[in-house]
Amino acid sequence: MTNTIPAPTDVGALANRINFHTRDQHNKIDGQMSVKFAFAMKHGFIYRQGILAFFYIFQAIEQEIDRILAQAHTEEEVQTRNILKQFWVDDFRRSDKILQDLELLYAKECPSRTQLLEFVQHNVLPAEQQGFVDYVHQGIQTSPTTVLAYCHVLYLALFAGGRVMRSTVYRSTGLFPRFPDLKPDEVVRRGTNFFTFSSEGVLAENKLRKDYKRGYELATRQGLTEDQKLQIIDVSNAIFEWNTRVISELGEINRKDLMGKLSFKLVTFAIDEWKHTEKLSREQKSLVLAMGVMIQILAMWWVLRKFF
């Protein structure tokens, strides 16, 4: 039995098998996320919707992990608990970290943590988001070892891409609310906990990732039957499908919302333009406003068609 992270060519490693069988799905959602994330970087209200959606998904996973670790009853739950104990530590938890980001992103609507908790508890999820959350709970409760699909696909995805996304967010300070008593870099630091696995820097994160991958491999290589491994691979594919559906749903919701509020956005745009054209004549102001409105219409239409 190896005691190191398996090589990419090691076909016996469950992680490698998941990667191989989800390659097409991964490429599909990777392209989709690149486009959607780039668009979200320009619109804070869309970005925070995505962060909120992932809160519910990671919360569901971690609720099931906590339940299994604390109250394993069936034979498969005990088996899963024994595997989880070999690599899972609290540093991996994301729901608490995302909640810290939401405190900042929803500071205007929910000034206190109590108000935020009440909001996330009573918030009605869109259909696909709720479907994914239900799928997580029902699937893991039916077949506990399938939680290991989420442990590889979602958490390692954050390890791999979170640092890049964090860097991108750091350059997009306009995503976050403004706080008169905080500098922009401090605001961004407080709003990127989702992508941060250690406050001690890159070396600490690298070690955490290495320990996670090694522990996952050692625990799953011999601790699962072949049928269980195949089921985990199937769920891994489903995770990619659910992510695609959740992201597409957010895009459709915002497309409809933006189109429904287009006239309001044009009015506010026109007012802003008027404020900055004090030295122009009335005819020139009218021309500038008309051109601005037309540009806004064309830009909005192009964006909606391209990204949604």
Q: Detail the residues annotated as belonging to a binding site for heme b.
A: 26
Report the 10 Å Cβ neighbour count for 250: 21
**Positions at the binding site:** 26
Whether 54 contacts 119, CB under 8 Å: no
Q: Which two tokens stand for residue 299?
A: 């830009």
